[in-house]
Amino acid sequence: MKKIYFFVIMYFSVLFIYAQTENDFEVTLTTDNTGAVITRYKGGAIAQLRIPDHIQGFPVKEIGSFVFQNNYNINSVILPYAIKKIGDEAFYGCRNLTTVIIPSNVESIEFVTRSARSPSGGYYNTANFGGCNLNLSSMAALKQRSYHENFTSKSIGDYSVTLTNDYTGLIITSFRHTRNSFDVSIPGNLEGMPVKEIGRGSFVRQLMWGDESNGRLLIPEGVEIIRQNAFGGGDKNFGSNFTSIIMPNTLRIIEKEAFSLCRRLTNVIIPEGVTTIGDNAFNQCENLTNITIPSTVTIIGNNAFSRLRNLTQVNINSSTNSNDRIIGNGVFSFCDRLVTIIIPEGIIEIGEGAFSNCSSLSSVVLPSSLMRIGNNAFINTRLPLSTQAELRRKGYTGNF
């Protein structure tokens, strides 16, 4: 047993120390004769590859084409600090390669179009790291250095994710609930990359798992955008079954229809910092009873809170930083139980039909900043004559 144990230790020691010396590489000079180009790897099996900073006294500035192609032993690579260029298909097919530490000096990750290797003809674009199993932070580091290959969505546990457009974080593209509980706490990061966006339609189909009456969702700090239909039905006839949603303080944008048709939703707090609530964002969330709109919100989109049949309280926080806030068309239309609304200073426009068919609405407080009131914004309400007169003086021409 001791001999076997010793053999295992020796084997992994070999794997980890190979390629730490310049003798494991063949090299040539760069075209300007200032650095070394690695043209061939001649060392043994290696799991953690650390390429030397210097070979024969010259800084290693380039990795040549195909040098490590289809090397199944490598699972991590640390590139030298002076590296400027990675050649065509240098690590192509290294299927166990997960981690690449790439320095900021890299200027070129070579992109070549070749004749196709299949009988169908045509062309294909080479991929230096194609066929690797790179982790998300390595993908991001490569893309930040203008790497040409488009990485596909990656599955990690219950989630599928892709990189944000600036490659600094992750977008959740889909969610697959696999546990009995319907409570969900979205992770703040995956493989060292922060989650920054909840992607379009990513949670909308999660309906029938666990206790539907107590489904709670925690969106982590760091998330900045909730995309269209992330939890809502849109042109479909359903939304997610979460009853309570906790949003992060980092949130800035709630896109259109993000929570529409989430009929079981009873509790949601929109945090300060949100600037935009998109069209139909909470449309037909029938069990919401109160809504607080932060002072940072400048645009409340069309029908954003329409058809909230049990809504009794709306708090639109006043803002000292904005005098161009807009309540869009039909925002609170068909909110049957809404009795009172206080519209704060800074609101300059109330859109067409904004409070239409709010059949219990009997009290409205208007700001001095209000400049425009859309047609039929207060049709089919119970506003008293004094409020109607005030609205007329503000320029309202619609019906009551």
Task: For residue range 268-293, list pLDDT tens digits in order.
Answer: 899 999 999 999 999 999 999 999 99
**How many domains are there within the chain?**
1
Per-residue confidence band for 45, with pLDDT thresholds at 50, 70 and 90 = confident
Is residue 354 in some structural domain?
no
* Full residue range of the structural domain in which residue 50 is found: 2-144
With residue 171 as reference, give the H or E element that holds it.
Answer: strand 170-175
Strands 36-41 and 363-365: unpaired
Nearest-CA neighbor of 290 among 301, 280, 282?
282
Measured CA to CA, the distance from residue 375 to residue 181 in angstroms comes to 47
User: Is residue 127 pLDDT above 90, yes or no?
Assistant: no
Is residue 73 in some structural domain?
yes
Measured CA to CA, the distance from residue 133 to residue 36 in angstroms comes to 28
Q: In the prediction, which pLDDT does 72 show? A: 94
Token digits for 85? 């260029």
Is residue 363 in some structural domain?
no
Nearest-CA neighbor of 325 among 285, 382, 367, 355?
367
Q: In the prediction, which pLDDT does 284 show? A: 94
Phi, psi dihedral angles at 373 (to 5 degrees): -130, 120
CATH at 60: 3.80.10
Measured CA to CA, the distance from residue 176 to residue 203 in angstroms comes to 8
Is residue 75 in some structural domain?
yes
Is residue 323 in some structural domain?
no
Is residue 90 in some structural domain?
yes
Q: In the prediction, which pLDDT does 117 show? A: 45
Q: Which of 65-74, 142-151, 192-201, 343-352 has the lowest mean pLDDT?
A: 142-151
Residues constituting the chain = 400
Q: In the prediction, which pLDDT does 218 show? A: 94
Q: How many CA atoms lie within 13 A of 330 on its CB side?
A: 14
Per-residue confidence band for 114, with pLDDT thresholds at 50, 70 and 90 = low
Token digits for 42? 């001649």
Q: How confident is the model over 349-366, as pLDDT tens digits?
A: 999 999 999 999 999 999
Q: How confident is the model over 59-96, as pLDDT tens digits?
A: 999 999 999 999 999 999 999 999 999 988 899 999 99
Per-residue confidence band for 214, with pLDDT thresholds at 50, 70 and 90 = low
Is residue 120 in some structural domain?
yes
With residue 17 as reference, give the H or E element that holds it.
Answer: helix 2-17
Is residue 55 in some structural domain?
yes
Measured CA to CA, the distance from residue 181 to residue 115 in angstroms comes to 52
Q: In the prediction, which pLDDT does 43 show? A: 86
Q: How many CA atoms lie within 13 A of 139 on its CB side?
A: 27
Q: In the prediction, which pLDDT does 84 show? A: 92
